[in-house]
Amino acid sequence: MKAMPSKEVTKKVFNKEPFFILDVRNESDFNDWKIEGENFEYLNIPYFDLLDGVEEILDKVPTDKEVLVVCAKEGSSVMVAEMLEEAGREVSYLQGGMKAWSEHLEPVKVGDLKDGGAMYQFVRIGKGCLSYAVVSNGEAALIDATRMTDVYLDFAKELGVEIKHVFDTHLHADHISGGRKIAEATGASYWLPPKDADEVTFNYQPLEDGNLVKIGETNIDINALYTPGHTIGSTSFVVDEKYLLSGDILFIDSIGRPDLAGKAEDWVADLRNSLYTRYKQLSDELVVLPAHFMIIDELNEDGSVSEKLGTLFAKNHGLNIEDEAEFRRLVTENLPPQPNAYQEIRETNMGKISPDDEKQREMEIGPNRCAVR
């Protein structure tokens, strides 16, 4: 019996390998959020139903593919894996449980920049969060970094680059930002849209129309891309005239929800204007890099998440609703449940509260819910 780290499971997701998961969490937790993979099979049997042994499920656990036992924090899956091993089965358990799965970040190179630099995407596979590093001539900028700050600091150290700027496209409500912490650790400038920062308790650089930030030889152009709708301050960036970082306004298969500050009715017109007018003025050839993905099908062959803007205008339903009333209905009536602890997460990102690490983990458990269904 071996412990399988999240990194190894992520490779199986990226490679679309056949894989069997025995998830021993409660049914409601499993239905709300699970490890997703294109060729994965699942069996959900709560741990408490297996306290008397695993004999009754042996015929449901395959012998011709890898089997992974999963629980919330690891303990229960270790015990079930031991019972299966005693019954003659070869299985692994998820190291650190779903808690570790929620925190794993996998860096993927998205492409090269004109000056010899590169764009990297950090895929938070268990939560659907996407963050970015723009690297150019010994310098780096981070966009929408998560609270797992060591991953970004180690990444920069490995590449031998200095983090000069850290951006958040908006005040996040589904996960805790690592932007401010990274800026404090590196001396980098921390940028936040001022319209999202009315209640923040710390100093920041105002991210607004007219900003042009240079990383090495690469331009990050924020000019005329103030795109409200998900939040009132939501801001998009064009990097190197090639990449459009859309934050939570536009996803591959959906559009951003406008209600996480309780303003759905107020902000729906902004959302439509951002998507249907401002984005329409941009080149179809821009590669859209969103701050989230919703389903595993949105991953490309290499595990990255991206698509050309022109393709999204052709295929994304949220960009093809001519009738304004119908658009309003879509984004105000088709909303999934609010993200777990989203109000506390917003207050943490404002600097109003400072939960300890364990509390932050609990606040973030579960899927992201930033898109309209």
Strand segments, DSSP code E, in 170-301 are: 189-192, 205-206, 212-215, 218-221, 237-239, 243-247, 287-290
One of 45, 71, 113, 222 is an active-site residue; which one? 71
What one-letter code names the amino acid at 39? N
Alpha helices in 143-229 (DSSP H): 149-159, 179-186
For residue 311, what are the CA distances in angstroms to 283, 285, 293, 328?
11, 9, 16, 23
Q: Helix %, strand %, coil % for the chain, to 5? A: 35, 25, 45
How do beta strands 92-94 and 67-70 pair?
Answer: parallel
Question: Residue 214 phi/psi, 5° resolution?
Answer: -105, 130
- For the question of residue 370 being annotated catalytic, the response is no
Position of tokens 């969060």? Answer: 129
- Structure tokens given for 309: 């803007």
3-state secondary structure of 50: helix
Cβ distance 138 to 164 under 8 Å? no
Question: Residue 133 phi/psi, 5° resolution?
Answer: -130, 125
- Structure tokens given for 263: 């303003």
Cβ distance 122 to 33 under 8 Å? no
Query: Measured between alpha carbons, how far is 100 from 146 in angstroms, rounded to an integer?
Result: 14
3-state secondary structure of 83: helix
Active site residues: 71
